Structure 1
Amino acid sequence: MTREPSVLVVGAGPTGLTLACTLRRFGVDCRVVDRREGLGDEPKALVLWSGALEALRRTGVADEAVTRALALTGASYWSRGRRIGGIGFGDLPGTAFPGPVCLPQPVLERLLLDRLEQLGGSVQWRTEAVGVEITTDGARVELGHGDGEREHVEVPWVVGADGTRSRVRESLGIPYEGTTYPRVFLLGDGRLRGPAPAREAQYHLHPDGVLVLVPLPDGGHRVFFDLPDGPAGADATEGAPDVGLLQGLLDTRGPGGLTLTETWWTSRFRVHARLAREFRRGPVFLAGDAAHCHSPAGGQGLNTGVQDGYDLGWKLASVVRGAGEQLLDSYPAERRPASAAAVRSADQQTRLWMLRAPLARALRDGVMRRLLSTALPRRRIVPQLAQLHLDHSGSTAVVDLPDAATPPAVRLGRRMPDTELVAADGSGAGTLHDYLARGRHVVLAVGGRAAAHAVERVVPLLVGRGVSDVVDVLWLRPSGSLIERPFGGGFDVRDEGPPAALSGGKRSWLVYVRPDGVVGARAGTEQVDGLVALLPRRAAPVKTG
């Protein structure tokens, strides 16, 4: 029996790698194992939305990911060979990533693995969790190696990020509840000749089934179809589909004039809508596909998994570094509702694809045509898909402390509003969101002398805790203020002073902004001790890269 690092991560897909990178960035070591021989080359998921991109930005890979991705400008919907309508992407406000991008999963996995190695971590391939047992001190895990050897390890924390057939989940008997669609799904990545969309996803809703066209960064396209299960779809039940089958479906359901000239990956699979009944059992957590799976409609799977990994990563790291263990209760409280919403949204879209009755199809087309002619999709549907403005106001990880005088725009459990900054010293970030993209814990003081005095009290407390590598203190002072900078420095707002979104009148106030950019606590300037108590309190157990 060997004693391990604080966290064992089972699975090195996007979820597990995001988690591991986040732990290492916060100074916490982890062991990452995966049953595969190495990184896979199957494209699988493609679309990254704003919420996941912001998490990846905090992890340190978003810039390269966007550089190598294809920005999608919108999605259009077709029925009976005619365009019903469309949704434009790219103008989501308040984020550095105003629209989704297309990036094949292997590219993202490579970027995350490279980042993990830069941070001093690694992945142990050909190693899987055979069984997990909860103990009084954590968990005992049996690992199976590719050479047939067995290893038993004890760890304080285990994360199962090992996919839909998670051995971690199954060994604990956690139900994976939901349904399997009565259809077989086929896809192919390759090159199309003809009028294929360059930056737009297209959904062709044919009476026989759906055709989805998604442009790829290298100039290729993904084609995606569904076929009936059972005897009516007997030719769709075995093996990867060949070009002939895919071309036939493309001819039947497509806009015409498209020829699939080559493919480099084809697949046949079933689609499920499932959610684990528990995301946490004691020291064991489920994340990514081990916790939820759903239709590729809307491109939500990769995004939800990346955000699982980041959320659990900073929370586990905080607890390892001395924050209260109750913080971990917020992982299922926050991520399971978000995952359930993603599963529900994808299920609704998939069921619209699968309508076959002529009257139901006509009704669907009419409703979609009217809906897509309004601004509602941009105001409601796109933000929902982006998973950027999640509501954590009911979470156990957010709290209002006494005498909070924050303005209405600073909402507990919601994303911190942005404002422009002029650096007095520090990073030189031009906006608050740019600064928060560093992914650290931030104590933000807004106002005049009372805020300055609060900063003077906060900084030495944090220095004593040894957490300067993961916690920042910022002071937004009034425009034209003659107040000298408090110990630790900070930021000035631009000359016009705090914008209306952050204006609290003449009163000063404090906010704790979590590493995910969410307002974790609001307080009056006399509540320094209560605010600091929410933060890590120990120096890093390992040195990060």
Structure 2
Amino acid sequence: MKRRYDNTDTVLIVGAGPTGLTTACTLLQHGVECRIVDRRKGPASEPKALILWSGALEVLKRIDAAECLVNRSLPLSGASYWSGGKRAGQVRFGSLADTAFPRPLCVPQSVTESVLYQRLLKLGGQVEWNTELTDVRLIGDSAEGSVSVTVESPGQSAPALLAPRWLVGADGTHSKVRAATGIAFQGSTYARDFLLGDGEFSGNLPKDEAQYHLTPEGVLVVVPLPGGGHRVFFDRDATGEVRPLSDDDLQELLTARGPRGWTLRSTWWRSTFRVHTRVAAAFRSGPVFLAGDAAHCHSPAGGQGLNTGVQDGFNLGWKLAAVSRGADPALLDSYEAERRPAALRALRNSDRQTKLWMLREGPKRVLRDTVLKVASATGALDRKMVPDLAQLDPGLESSPAVPGRLPAPAGKNAPAGKNARGAKSVLRPGLRLPDTRWQALSGTLSTSLHELLAAGRHTLLVLQNGACTVDGERTARQAADLAARSAVAAQTDVLLLTGRAPADEQDYSAPYARAVETGRQLTALAGPGQDPLVIYVRPDGAVGAWSSHLDLPRLADGVSVLGLAVGRAA
């Protein structure tokens, strides 16, 4: 007999890996309760994925999990490609601008999950371990449809029937949630086995860079691990054998493909697996959403899978939280519009690298090595490959949730930023604003834009060129009033940023923060003599919309969390 629970669960998350935990932490941080279940007995102990890139680290900072991970990680200085025993190419990390994380970090997935789990507990959440999803039923296929879920755990006398408002499938590549919705998992499988081992080695192995040794027989990837040791990674013809290789087998491959003198002493983890490249045909079916490996799976090349999943979780989490608080439900339509293209980009990046590894024919190998040498010498690898892998640019220009510039009413000044110097490259819908430093005057302790945005909240920036005027104060007060009446009032910051400090004493009781920009990079967008410019910045740091006029309801109409509908203003 099934026991029916009251419909008190706004969000049910299936899967407590990095994606599910990120989703849950985001919801809780935005004040929305959720329930998370996992069929495992506890957090993962296997190291699995290793690399955290800048985009995912910024997300983890927004949920206050990044610092612990930084302290338990190994920053990587670069990656090098070797062919015929010689270095054919090199990529240097550390040159990414406008981020607190210019280098990728090597962190075993077990550590990432442990840190996220501890953050979840601190936020008041918990995971119902040893609880398995056994049935999902959709009633209606529209956004207004409903879902019922059955879960079982050994301690229950009978299966539990749940009726959450939304169901998030973060339950991996063999997702039961995805299967229940009938969403196709489109893609292919490499005709290769992939073999890895984490352990201790002797010889001159790299200390802070990843190495790719590209041989006619296959690839050897070597990555140093935090705390000592290395991971070695190989491919071979598919055999159907899933048994992990012995240490002797790994040493045989290491001798055949690596430099002389590299010797395996011992391993503490070994694995054999097949690699699939697949993306779900849809990331949503009515009240059901897919995220992480349930929505996309990748080759391990470039470390894209976990990073993409973490960003899925944050994107979905803050949107579900906003709609739970009363924002327009159409905001949820933007989840697939934003994250599926991101997953496809990540898949293409990892697929290109994997195919680079697997070149076997002589002429193609020579061409590959030549291209790597030229691209390294000219810096093209650094300029192109690193930003793509880092996933800092969210690529949201076509999203319905970033209306961009909103037109002023008749008779008002033209929207500032249209002709302002640098506006074309700085102020675009869906892009991250560049960091800028300021002197805080009141209402905030942050000293820069990115430090303010790292809190992962909604933000209204009121920019005024030059010193603060009555118009600037009035606009900031109106923006604060708008925020206070919005669905996300408790998760919204308002900041008045000016180019010069005011001459008069500040009103410290104002319902918004004040700061003076040091370099005047953003305040210049307002334009001299024009109305203050108001920019809505999403919790992920992306520009949502802006308007230079004082008619703030127009801005609210174009931003779901502030007012009415998602969509581009006419």
| TM-score calculated relative to the size of structure 2 | 0.90
Deviation at 1:497, TM superposition (A): 4.2
| Other-structure match for 1:100 | 104
Deviation at 1:499, TM superposition (A): 5.4
2:279 to 260, 269, 275: 275
| Other-structure match for 1:504 | 527
Give the AA of the match of 1:471: T
Deviation at 1:537, TM superposition (A): 7.0
| Other-structure match for 2:444 | 427
| Other-structure match for 2:151 | 143
Structure 1 residues 287-315: Cα deviation after superposition (integer angstroms, max 9, x where no partner): 00000001000111110010000110011
Q: Any idea what SS the aligned residue of 1:181 has? A: strand
- Count of aligned pairs: 533
Distance 1:361 1:246 in 2: 25
Contact 1:451 1:509 survives alignment (8 Å): no
Alignment of 1:265-414 (within 5 A): 265-399=269-403, 400-403=405-408, 404-406=415-417, 407-408=423-424, 409-414=426-431
Structure 1 residues 442-468: Cα deviation after superposition (integer angstroms, max 9, x where no partner): 011001433321111122343345844
Structure 1 residues 34-82: Cα deviation after superposition (integer angstroms, max 9, x where no partner): 0111111110000000000000000111011111100000000001111
Q: Any idea what SS the aligned residue of 1:17 has? A: helix
Deviation at 1:532, TM superposition (A): 3.9
| Other-structure match for 2:497 | 476
Deviation at 1:503, TM superposition (A): 5.3
Contact 1:85 1:369 survives alignment (8 Å): yes
Contact 1:479 1:498 survives alignment (8 Å): no
Unaligned residue ranges in structure 1 (runs of 5+):
231-235, 539-545
Distance 1:20 1:495, change over 3 A: closer
Alignment of 1:163-178 (within 5 A): 163-178=172-187
Q: Any idea what SS the aligned residue of 1:182 has? A: strand
Q: Any idea what SS the aligned residue of 1:340 has? A: helix
Point out the more displaced range, 478-487 or 255-264: 478-487
Distance 1:93 1:498, change over 3 A: closer
Contact 2:26 2:317 survives alignment (8 Å): yes
| Other-structure match for 2:435 | 418
Structure 1 residues 4-24: Cα deviation after superposition (integer angstroms, max 9, x where no partner): 321000000000000000000
Contact 2:463 2:523 survives alignment (8 Å): no
Deviation at 1:348, TM superposition (A): 1.0
Give the AA of the match of 2:212: Y
2:476 to 435, 455, 460: 455
2:169 to 157, 160, 169: 160
Structure 1 residues 393-412: Cα deviation after superposition (integer angstroms, max 9, x where no partner): 11010113223323331111
Point out the more displaced range, 285-294 or 400-409: 400-409
Please state if 1:492 is matched with 2:515. Answer: yes
Point out the more displaced range, 17-26 or 370-379: 370-379
Q: Any idea what SS the aligned residue of 2:228 has? A: coil
Distance 2:242 2:462 in 1: 61
Contact 1:321 1:537 survives alignment (8 Å): no
Deviation at 1:358, TM superposition (A): 1.4
Distance 1:126 1:346 in 2: 33
Contact 2:431 2:543 survives alignment (8 Å): yes
Distance 1:196 1:498 in 2: 45
Structure 1 residues 463-482: Cα deviation after superposition (integer angstroms, max 9, x where no partner): 34584430000001231433
| Other-structure match for 1:541 | none
Deviation at 1:489, TM superposition (A): 3.8
1:90 to 85, 91, 94: 94
% identical equivalent positions: 49
Deviation at 1:365, TM superposition (A): 1.2
Contact 1:410 1:501 survives alignment (8 Å): no
Unaligned residue ranges in structure 2 (runs of 5+):
409-414, 418-422, 564-570
Contact 2:326 2:487 survives alignment (8 Å): no
Q: Any idea what SS the aligned residue of 2:314 has? A: helix
| Other-structure match for 1:183 | 192
Contact 2:394 2:542 survives alignment (8 Å): no
Contact 1:132 1:140 survives alignment (8 Å): yes
Contact 2:497 2:517 survives alignment (8 Å): no
Please state if 1:68 is matched with 2:79. Answer: no
Contact 2:463 2:522 survives alignment (8 Å): no
Distance 2:495 2:400 in 1: 25
Distance 1:526 1:331 in 2: 30
Contact 1:417 1:501 survives alignment (8 Å): no
